[in-house]
Structures are given as structure tokens and as C-alpha cells.
Amino acid sequence: MSDDVETLRSAYEALNHGDTEGALAVLDEDAEWSEHSDLPEAGVYRGRAAIRAFLEQFLESWQDFHQETEELIAGESCVLIMLRSRVRGKGSGVAVEARYAHLWTMADGRGVRVDAYLDREEALRALRHRAAAQS
């Protein structure tokens, strides 16, 4: 699991440096990304190409974009990453800070599913549920 953790750290660092391809490289070709229902981009994106389009459109909204890992919890075949982002809106210049989580399901060193959560406790419950289902 430590390899998965380092792989994901590298993907988030790549994104912070504007390297979308480097960030997407961790994803399986048939991966699914489920964005939280409270966000304008809510929905499930299937396949690396759809996830790329979603991510590029999302990043287009921001003049500055940076995510930092606040906490990382590795499970059997999943990794929960608690994040804080600091962004500045393109055009408006408005600074926004947000906390959220990504629960990654990993297989053979590749992300096969990412679920986004806005609530820390909800993300932790999802991690516990996933761990129980795998036992």
C-alpha cells in the first residue's frame, strides 16, 4: 500500500504544477470518478478521457490552484486523502479555500475509482464501509 500512497502523492504534486497528464497517469484507463452531489460538476465520469475533460474544465475556472494533503489514511486496497485547496477564481480574482476528501480504490498500482466527499466524517464512514466490505 505504501507504493499506492507515494503514487497518489506524486499525482497531486503533478496537478499542483499544472501537469494534468502526470496527475491522470495514476488512473486506470477505465477508472470512474464520482464528484460530490453538492458541486456544480456533480456526477460520475467514466474512463480516463472523461475524467481528463472534467478536470481540465474544472481547472479552467481557476487562475491559481493548489491542493495540499492534510491527512492520508491507507486501507487494504484504498487510500483516503484529506485535502485543503487554495484557489483564486479566474476573472473574479476571488480567493477560495476548501477542505474535502478523495477516497481512491486502487488495483495493481492504478486508481480504478475516486469518490469525492465534502465532509470528513462522511469520508471516514465510506472508508470504514469499504474496508468492512473487503474483509
Per-residue pLDDT of the chain (135 residues; tens, 9 = 90+): 578 999 999 999 999 998 999 999 999 999 999 998 777 778 999 999 999 999 998 888 889 999 999 999 998 889 999 999 999 999 899 999 999 999 999 999 999 999 999 999 999 999 998 878 876
Domains of the chain from N-terminus onward: 2-134 (3.10.450.50)
Q: Is 85 helix (H, G, I), strand (E, B) or coil?
A: strand
Instruction: Quote the cell numbers at residue 70.
Output: 492534510
Its pTM stands at 0.91
Query: Which one, of 52, 48, 84, lies nearest residue 69 by Cα?
Result: 84
Residues 6+ positions from 132 with CB-CB distance below 8 Å: none
Q: What are the grid coordinates assigned to 51, written together? A: 475524467
Listing DSSP states for 30-69 in one string gives: EEEEEE-TTSTT-EEEESHHHHHHHHHHHHHTEEEEEEEE
